[in-house]
Structure 1
């Protein structure tokens, strides 16, 4: 195959950084969007002569970023890439506890970064790639990194649960849109999946383990996950997520889990 394009949000640390590192391969063009650039990632890209661009962008103000990404995509020749993929990985975890203990600003940022940005970037990606050869040949994908907390409510985490549940459901609806468009036009649409990546040893887990148990009854469960060695490393989680992305049946189930057979 020729070149493949990837756009990844939340690439500065944790699983996002691990995904970015795995994507630094010959023939890949990678754009990373995070509040801060990742120096180690840039050094790695230089060492392996990989095509990496990093944009320091705050997805708490997602509309101008989505417009900028769309303009960037439209500047490419529509036949250049064999495949194109958007990975919406960015998210925000607010303070742990009842929702009314979060400020208005904290709640707004959680939903803007975790849900609104993913929706706007998905729409921009689909608009810009609609006429691409990769889209016509069925090799455009959107992978939204979700969470089990989008499917199971947990006390003390209402903003995060809401963002991930919204991500799951907008993915289902967008997948239906692509299916109907494909049927009407006789051409493949984009494959869209909201994927739960399992439990990962990241800053989020540290945040959860250190929370005040009086407002977070599940705190002990997260301590147990760590002590019993049940957390995947960011690298192992990234490998599993990318393996799911490369599956032949990617898109057949709009909401999925890396642990699905």
Structure 2
């Protein structure tokens, strides 16, 4: 039972933990990781697996989303449409940038945050859906969203906007795919608050530019952050739910 998974931002944090668990949990997995850097740890893990696991790692900068989407589209066109039982795209990559009021944003940083956080997932979703349209595989798109896409926070306008846009385009695509032959199921999923490099960035931000910094310091000091491994298990459990796609905008803490 071959399964194809494409995941962005797999070189660290939540994406890395998801990739690790996919390599260990699903024999017959083909895992395509799209990140700025390859992960030696993932390569080592894949080499140790006795099951039929294939790991492909692309070094791809998602701040150039047109090139990334073209590469995915071209690669999918080389695959046998009958090979996989399932095909899943996980849009995980994102960036909080340098937290600051929008009035103080650096133009290039602002543009890059939106390219990575919203434009890249949309283009990759378009490439994935178009490239697998005639496949026999059951198809899913999992977008890793955030509570900040649903509850605004000052000095986080780019991140909030990207995640809110991710939620809304997921709703739109769900409507489109509901009427398509072998339509894909799509969910924009909030994974909870996780102890990753993003949290380190937020705790290290200027208190003057980012008044909410204390909130993130408190989450860390009170042990309220989920580990990447624990969060990845919850995300993959949600991905495997029989009702995946019934709510295109969801949270890992939603009841079964």
**What whole-Å deviation, never above 9, does each CA across 1:209-238 have from its counterpart, x for those lacking one?**
122222222111111111111100000000
189, 195, 203: which one pairs with 1:201? 195
Counterpart secondary structure, 2:58: strand
Counterpart secondary structure, 1:211: coil
Residue 40 in structure 1 maps to residue 34 in structure 2 = no
Query: How many correspondences in the alignment?
Result: 251
Shift, 1:99, TM fit: 1.6
235, 239, 243: which one pairs with 1:241? 235
Which residue of structure 2 lines up, in the alignment, with residue 184 of structure 1?
A: none
Which residue of structure 1 lines up, in the alignment, with residue 253 of structure 2?
A: 259
Residue 124 in structure 1 maps to residue 127 in structure 2 = yes
**RMSD value, Cα:** 0.9
8 Å Cα contact 1:94-1:102 kept in structure 2: no
TM-score (structure 1 length as normaliser): 0.94
Residue 64 in structure 1 maps to residue 58 in structure 2 = no
Distance 1:27 1:255 in 2: 29
Shift, 1:180, TM fit: 2.8
Shift, 1:171, TM fit: 0.5
Which residue of structure 1 lines up, in the alignment, with residue 78 of structure 2?
A: 75
Which residue of structure 1 lines up, in the alignment, with residue 148 of structure 2?
A: 149
Distance 1:27 1:122 in 2: 23
Distance 1:202 1:51 in 2: 26
8 Å Cα contact 1:193-1:251 kept in structure 2: yes
Residue 227 in structure 1 maps to residue 221 in structure 2 = yes
- Structure 1 consecutive aligned stretches of length 4 or more whose deviation exceeds 4 Å: none
Distance 1:107 1:71 in 2: 29
Counterpart secondary structure, 1:23: helix
Shift, 1:26, TM fit: 1.9
